[in-house]
Amino acid sequence: MQVKIYPEDFDPFLEIQSYQKQLSDIAGSYGATSIFIGTMRDFSDGQHVEAMTLEYYPGMTEKQLQKFIVEAQQRWQIFDALVVHRVGLIAPDQTIVLVAVWASHRGDAFDASRYIIEALKSKAPFWKKETLATNEERWITENTNGYLQKKD
């Protein structure tokens, strides 16, 4: 398993490729790789967002992310997982988060990756502050539950 916190822009596809190359001991065993990539939008609550600053709690954030992966490993048959998360000043269209899970079968890969991203969204200590076009700054106060269907 690997957890990475990046202060600068990263390419999620290169991260997946590079990590998967290290999985040579399980090559031929995994038949399913589930990937979630979260990207910064340029709108939020009906307003244009120029940039975002992501704060985290060094040490606790990594500890919690590792815990989510271990919990996923206990619940589903997965071989490995990679979580990469951006911090610092972020521009629209840049990647915020990557979750990748390798398993024998798609059910475990999908479910475990879903579990990890939802746990991250609700429990990993990260905080977003948006900078609007007016230069006004506002903290995002809560994440929505990804398991609930959006009505709009």
Partner 1 sequence: MAITVRYFASLKESLEKSEDEISGSEDAPLSAKKVWQIANPEKQLPENILVAINMDYATLDDLVQDGDEVAFFPPVTGG
Residue 13 binding partner 1, by CB under 8 A: no
Shortest Å distance, C-beta 23 to partner 1:
24
By CB under 8 A, what part of segment 27-66 binds partner 1?
38, 54-57, 59-60, 63-64
What is the largest distance, in Å, between two alpha-carbon atoms of the chain? 53
What's 24's DSSP letter? G
Contacts of 74 (CB under 8 A, 6+ apart): none
26 contacts 79 by C-beta, under 8 angstroms: yes
The interface with partner 1 within residues 87-146 (CB under 8 A) comprises 96-97, 117, 120-129, 139-143
**Number of CB atoms found within 10 A of residue 151's CB:** 4
Nearer to partner 1, 32 or 65 (CB): 65
Contacts with partner 1, residue ranges (CB under 8 A): 38, 54-57, 59-60, 63-64, 85, 96-97, 117, 120-129, 139-143
